[in-house]
Structure 1
Amino acid sequence: MTIAASIFKAYDIRGVVGDTLTAEAAFQIGRAIGSEARERNVSTICVGRDGRLSGPELTGALSDGIRATGVDVIDVGRVATPMLYFAAYQLETFSGVMVTGSHNPPDYNGFKMMLGGDTLAGDWIQKLYQRIVNNDFASGHGGYRTHDIVDEYLARIWGDIKLARQMKIVVDCGNGVPGDFAPELFRGLGCEVHKLFCEVDGTFPNHHPDPAKPENLQDVIQALRDTDTEIGLAFDGDGDRLGVVTKDGNIIWPDRQLILFAQDVLSRQPGCKIIYDVKCTRLLAPAVRTAGGEPLINRTGHSFMKAALKEHPDAGLAGEMSGHVFFKERWYGFDDGLYAGARLLEILSKVADPSVLLNALPNALSTPELNLKTAEGENHALIARLQHSAQFEGAENIISIDGLRVEYVDGFGLMRASNTTPVIVLRFEADNAAALARIQDDFRRVLAKETSEALPF
């Protein structure tokens, strides 16, 4: 069959249901994953799905494709993405496929994949595409069974996390699949939970399940204002990312959360590495050093973060500006928004006013992520040219592991090619407005030499 090459992304497979992603395509992708599993001596794969309307059909077709290669399937049903990862560890398959569109619009769906403990990304995802093009499949008759992982997952967290006191919290699941589990999880930890949009609905009728966008956190902010709750937690569509809001309505972005998590981890695992992505605040590294840890900057992308955690066995924690947080200390090293929320409450329960602690975290003047749209593929070409030729005025340090992160004495600017959409992602941070403006002017000057597109800053 012909299959759209465009759905094979850097970190996952993702397309529009009924257009680039059909049940027939899911079957072929299952055959490719199963064949790759056979090559890696993987005999069983866990499969789960989020709350999207297309989930059951695509999961069925994917599972049939995997089984057609002689690989067994354990179907864990409708779960959050981290629960699928947990099942892979708990059931000792170390392999899983999550059918999820994450925070994309309702008409999208896709697959996140792990085989033998390795997250499939980059060239490995392209290899799956080539298998389909070349009809390069193993054959066999794999078995099928179901397994309910929910109780084991909840019990594992309840056994690990202990709150110092009862807390009153807002939980906003944006009608994503975490709504099936988050209220029970946090009530089991001793919280009084004020629920927002915890009914799973793949049309997302209230707001989009993406806590990285401030507009999606306005309902949490309002609920904190209207009730006697003390902190707000928000989750993305498949539960692997966390958003945090204080009582006074301040959004604590993930790079600042990471400072708090790092301080906590380092109190028990002194000297360990803390890994963070190029989009994070430059205040994070000195905070990690002050807490006795070793900061390590890394490429953006959950698969790159997991690879870095494997490469550095002495790392206790990793995190991204996007909200993916990976605890290796006391946990498994995969990104889990629900567990991160529980770990946060464990820390906050030790103080009388969580908002005071969160608002006191190091902070700087910064922009959100800004996107410069380009033609398909041009974003990578543009960044490659700039990495070779760009000259920045007054730069103290230039980091080029993922685009260009240019650090100045009083701030930084970043531009990198997105691996999921044809855009250049930009972000700026500085000590004050004058420094921010100067850094942005430096980037405007550099970009103007290579592109005539209107800049988003």
Structure 2
Amino acid sequence: MTTLAREIFKAYDIRGIVGKNLTEEVVELVGQSIGTEAVEKGVKAIVIGRDGRHSGPAFAKALAKGIQSTGTNVIDVGCVATPMTYFAAHHLKTYSAVMITGSHNPPDYNGLKMMLAGETLAGERIQALYERIVNKGFVTGNGSYETTSITDAYLDNIVGHIQLKRPLNIIVDAGNGVAGAFAPTLFKRLGCTVTEMFCEVDGNFPNHHPDPAKPENLVDLKNALANSDAELGLAFDGDGDRLGVVTKSGEIIYPDRQMMLFAADILERNPGSEIIFDVKSSGLLGKWIKDHGGKPLMWRTGHSFMKAKLKETGAPLAGEMSGHIFFKERWFGFDDGIYAGARLLEILSAHANPTEILNNLPQCPSTPELHIDCKAEGEQHALIAKLLEVADFPEAVETISIDGLRIEFEDGFGLARASNTTPVVVIRFEGHTEAALQRIQARFKEELLKVDNSLTLNF
């Protein structure tokens, strides 16, 4: 049997290194496993799509072969953004999809995000796929294969309900990810003047890495804004499900501040609604939601966990600090960076100066996502488990352990959580003042070094 590495079966997707622990044989086995589950659930067809990575076409072929071997039909929508694959599942009424994507990981990674019978697979359901492969518990059959394009349907749907009050002049930086093939077209159809940066799809990502959560990846966009008459910059990750925003003045509007704008807009039409955000988000976001008549709900990081919570609560909006924004109001509830960009433009088009609106959103001194690198997969979870055991914060106002350890202080917060995609511990801090931020960082450093005094801490 093909070697199957358990560590690629992560909390909310399958993710591995191409040719090492993620091969065509492994992808075919995953296809057999998910196809079998589809048969058991009465699902007749699964949509498959892929991003712009070079391993995508071969993996798509292997995935289709595995799914078809169970008697489940395959509808291949080709090279598209992840949210377009989710859209296809709704549009084609399969409510089931597998997207082949490495998201924001380096070029030698790839993976699979999976949705079956309307539910995104996460946690135990992904582990169940692994167990089924190990036990060879597959059904057999002869499913059909067809290709179709959903690009026009996707773009038409958005253009049909997003109304800009005036055209904006924007720059789009796709980082050579797959969003480059679609986002500029959409924004032009909405009436915008669009300058394209790195919108040629290239799985080697030759200009900069397609991860707008990291400030260094937005330097080119900042420079382009400074040297043009564009009003706003939008950046996308490798598979188009996350949005980065840069103002004319060069300020990065991180997703927790984007959420403020989206929440205020949605709460005008849906007063009293719950708005969901992840543990990495600013403490100011919860207060903002309350002040705008909503109910703040903090939840675990991870697109699968967010979508499940959205479905459970009926909330109209959810968002993560990493840039995944989930609109249930006027959309389908999946994370879609391209659609989030359109919603942002719709809101900002009512204002003469988008930069002023965005820069004036509340903020405190804070860090971006910081990482503690671990030597091997799994070590990050062990480190956090130990931290939860030994950490002592007597000055805490609240201790939140739904996802790692978040300590709320009178004047800010600190967070340490294990990444579910790479062997790192994710750290984030916020203070109401610079002095508070420094103090909170020092306290977390103290507690982390109790766990392991050899840790290299970059804060």
C-alpha distance in structure 1 between counterparts of 2:380 and 2:108, whole Å: 25
Q: CA deviation at 1:17?
A: 1.6
Once the two structures are superposed, what CA deviation does each residue of 1:432-454 show, in whole Å capped at 9, x if it has no partner? 12111211222122222221123
Partner of 2:12: 11
Q: CA deviation at 1:275?
A: 0.1
Stretches of structure 1 lacking an aligned partner (at least 5 in a row): none
Q: CA deviation at 1:7?
A: 1.6
Maintained 8 Å contact 2:15/2:421: no
Letter in 1 for 2:339: Y
Evaluate the alpha carbon distance shift between residue 204 and residue 373 of structure 1 in structure 2; reply closer, same or farther with a 3 A threshold. closer
Structure 1 SS opposite 2:253: coil
- Identity across aligned pairs (percent)? 62
Partner of 1:364: 364
Matched, 1:116 2:117: yes
C-alpha distance in structure 1 between counterparts of 2:451 and 2:207, whole Å: 41
Matched, 1:28 2:37: no
Partner of 1:96: 97
The farther-off stretch of 189-198 and 2-11 is 2-11
Letter in 1 for 2:209: H
Q: CA deviation at 1:383?
A: 2.1
C-alpha distance in structure 1 between counterparts of 2:226 and 2:437, whole Å: 32
Structure 2 SS opposite 1:256: helix
Q: CA deviation at 1:393?
A: 3.6
Partner of 2:414: 413
Q: CA deviation at 1:425?
A: 1.3
Partner of 1:174: 175
Q: CA deviation at 1:54?
A: 1.2
Once the two structures are superposed, what CA deviation does each residue of 1:315-339 show, in whole Å capped at 9, x if it has no partner? 1100000000000011110000000
C-alpha distance in structure 2 between counterparts of 1:406 and 1:148, whole Å: 47
Partner of 1:300: 301
1:225-264 to structure 2, matched below 5 A, reads 225-264=226-265
Matched, 1:146 2:147: yes
Letter in 2 for 1:343: R
Evaluate the alpha carbon distance shift between residue 129 and residue 308 of structure 1 in structure 2; reply closer, same or farther with a 3 A threshold. same
Partner of 1:195: 196
Letter in 2 for 1:454: T
Partner of 1:332: 332
C-alpha distance in structure 2 between counterparts of 1:386 and 1:4, whole Å: 27
Partner of 1:269: 270
Matched, 1:451 2:452: yes
C-alpha distance in structure 1 between counterparts of 2:441 and 2:231, whole Å: 37
Letter in 1 for 2:34: I
1:370-389 to structure 2, matched below 5 A, reads 370-376=370-376, 377-389=378-390
Maintained 8 Å contact 2:390/2:450: no
Count of aligned pairs between the two proteins: 456
Matched, 1:316 2:316: yes
Once the two structures are superposed, what CA deviation does each residue of 1:229-286 show, in whole Å capped at 9, x if it has no partner? 1000000110000000000110000000000100001011111100000000000011
Q: CA deviation at 1:4?
A: 2.0
Once the two structures are superposed, what CA deviation does each residue of 1:352-388 show, in whole Å capped at 9, x if it has no partner? 0000000000101001112223354332233223324
Maintained 8 Å contact 1:229/1:247: yes
Partner of 1:161: 162
Partner of 1:428: 429
TM-score, normalised with respect to structure 1: 0.98
TM-score, normalised with respect to structure 2: 0.97
Evaluate the alpha carbon distance shift between residue 354 and residue 415 of structure 1 in structure 2; reply closer, same or farther with a 3 A threshold. same
C-alpha distance in structure 1 between counterparts of 2:109 and 2:416, whole Å: 27
C-alpha distance in structure 1 between counterparts of 2:374 and 2:148, whole Å: 45
Partner of 1:355: 355
Structure 2 SS opposite 1:365: coil
Structure 2 SS opposite 1:449: helix
Q: CA deviation at 1:394?
A: 1.8
Partner of 1:208: 209
C-alpha distance in structure 2 between counterparts of 1:343 and 1:216, whole Å: 23
Structure 1 SS opposite 2:345: helix
Structure 1 SS opposite 2:321: coil
Maintained 8 Å contact 1:364/1:429: yes
Maintained 8 Å contact 1:393/1:442: no
